[in-house]
A and B are shown apart, each in its own frame.
Chain A
């Protein structure tokens, strides 16, 4: 397969409610990404779209509605959906469109407009579960997270206070992200005192719902070398789905993330991800998820992620920064767009363009990951220079 590079990136400010429609957000961001690498929509050979539940935009088959804003007019166009895992998977999709040799330039567009559902997007999520055994109970997304967090804490003897440090770290990192929705200087006590949603999950353990878009431009080696002297290469991609039934999984460990990571690492020739990866963007829609996913990404032993956190190793200035962007907790969680925001963060960090967020030591390789669907999909991308 051909080498593929990321050559451009753009995103909107994530916010609680944007005036723009989904397709306007997509258009604005696609323009930003194309401008960043001095390409126009005429240079784009195909478009991949990533966006999660249709109900958010009040229209079924919303990829059709979004298509013109995504630059898909008279072009090959496809949407991939893996729930919360969609964003990083959109990057995987863009990779194989170009790696296959069929297209030279692929625009990867992700958009989410979550503010429309009233009173809360939970109303859309409740129709995502098994309609016979789960939805009739009024099953909330929060329950799934709370069960997993509780199981994870109990299995390893981790405390709520330790997990709260993830929110503290990521919201602080987000202070330097120009697109961040909820950056801030908070303390562990702030997290502990925030209202209990579904114990052990508290308000400040949770990322906000957001409106936003994020776009990447993928190019073949030949095009990449022509248009930029700083291409960032896609070194590995991976994705994996576990059983749809929550009762058939042990919630303490995301095995499907491990499988997706192994797929991506094998492709990238990575033998020891703890040493060979400089920065990581594990998906952090809830505080404990950064730790849970860091373990699934094989960046430490099971149950050890909290030790890295407490010891400062995953801080911006630590040995292996996790979520230098500020993550979903700090930047915001416009579901599919958050996955691409994480890949875009690797792109900016690896090019040394992350401004005040720039991690020290010239990082050369990073991994981004997202997770979702019925809480059992892992999607992984490894970028390097």
Chain B
């Protein structure tokens, strides 16, 4: 069979369609508390596995390493360090953004895990790996119980 076949692909007849699914999912045992703590008290909570000496963020009800149940919750300080970051110039559809956005992975001291989020309050060119950052929450009245209740992380002044 020849390797090159149809060259005028635009002339072929396309089937249009979508996979429409509207979902209402549960947050789960750990997620229910984790997101309520952010919404109501403005704090990030983790769960601790004493056996493996790991603190999980986002919180979980089990340890993925020893498979034990986790019941000990503790507050994580809202300050961490930027593990890595990118300056994104495109949206999900590949369109150029008017202003680039900085998004990064924030890790906290002594914590197994981290939070992926927007990095705000800083010029993109001033961001660096290892930079200390702190949580910026939305006003309590605008929180809905979502990761977006966190507005962004910004460099510690």
Interface of B is mostly: mixed
A146 CA to B129 CA in the complex, in Å? 13
Contacts of B25 in A (CB 8 A): 131
> How far apart are A22's CB and chain B's nearest CB, in angstroms?
13
Q: Is the CB of A137 within 8 A of B148?
A: yes
| Partner among B4, B86, B148 whose Cβ is within 8 Å of the Cβ of A201 | B86
Q: Is the CB of A246 within 8 A of B86?
A: no
A180 CA to B107 CA in the complex, in Å? 41
Contacts of B83 in A (CB 8 A): 147, 151, 247, 250-251
Contacts of A41 in B (CB 8 A): none
A19 CA to B118 CA in the complex, in Å? 40
Q: Is residue A154 within 8 Å, beta carbon to beta carbon, of the partner chain? A: yes
Interface pick from A101-109, A191-199, A270-278, A336-344: A191-199
Q: Is the CB of A148 within 8 A of B84?
A: yes
CB within 8 Å for A122 and B86 given contacts A137-B147, A137-B148, A246-B116: no
Q: Is residue B132 within 8 Å, beta carbon to beta carbon, of the partner chain? A: no
Q: Is the CB of A133 within 8 A of B112?
A: no
Contacts of B19 in A (CB 8 A): 54-55, 58-60
| Partner among A55, A122, A247 whose Cβ is within 8 Å of the Cβ of B116 | A247
CB within 8 Å for A247 and B93 given contacts A19-B12, A136-B147, A136-B148: no
Contacts of A198 in B (CB 8 A): 86-90
Q: Is the CB of B129 within 8 A of A199?
A: no
8 A Cβ contacts from B66-121 to A: 83-94, 100, 103-105, 107, 112-118
Most chain B CB atoms below 10 A, which of A18, A54, A143: A143
A219 CA to B92 CA in the complex, in Å? 43
> How far apart are B126's CB and chain A's nearest CB, in angstroms?
13
Q: Is the CB of A199 within 8 A of B89?
A: yes
A246 CA to B117 CA in the complex, in Å? 12
Residue of A nearest to B108 (CB): A247
Interface string of A121-163 (1 = CB under 8 A from B): 0110010000111101111101100111011001000000000
Q: Is residue B50 within 8 Å, beta carbon to beta carbon, of the partner chain? A: no
> How far apart are B81's CB and chain A's nearest CB, in angstroms?
12
Contacts of A120 in B (CB 8 A): 92-94
A122 CA to B92 CA in the complex, in Å? 6
Contacts of A147 in B (CB 8 A): 83-86, 104-105
Q: Is residue A178 within 8 Å, beta carbon to beta carbon, of the partner chain? A: yes
Q: Is residue A245 within 8 Å, beta carbon to beta carbon, of the partner chain? A: yes
CB within 8 Å for A138 and B84 given contacts A60-B19, A133-B58, A246-B114: no
Interface on B for A, CB 8 Å cutoff?
A: 1, 3-6, 9, 12, 15, 17-19, 25, 27, 31, 35, 57-58, 64, 83-94, 100, 103-105, 107, 112-118, 124, 129, 146-148
* 26 A-B residue pairings within 8 Å (CB atoms): A12-B3, A13-B4, A58-B17, A60-B19, A123-B93, A132-B147, A133-B116, A140-B88, A147-B83, A147-B84, A147-B86, A148-B84, A150-B84, A150-B85, A150-B129, A151-B83, A195-B89, A197-B88, A199-B86, A245-B58, A245-B114, A246-B116, A247-B107, A247-B113, A248-B113, A251-B105
Known: A136-B148, A248-B114. 6 other contacts (CB 8 A): A18-B9, A32-B1, A59-B19, A122-B92, A197-B89, A248-B112
Nearest 3 A-B pairs (CB), nearest first?
A247-B114, A146-B86, A147-B84
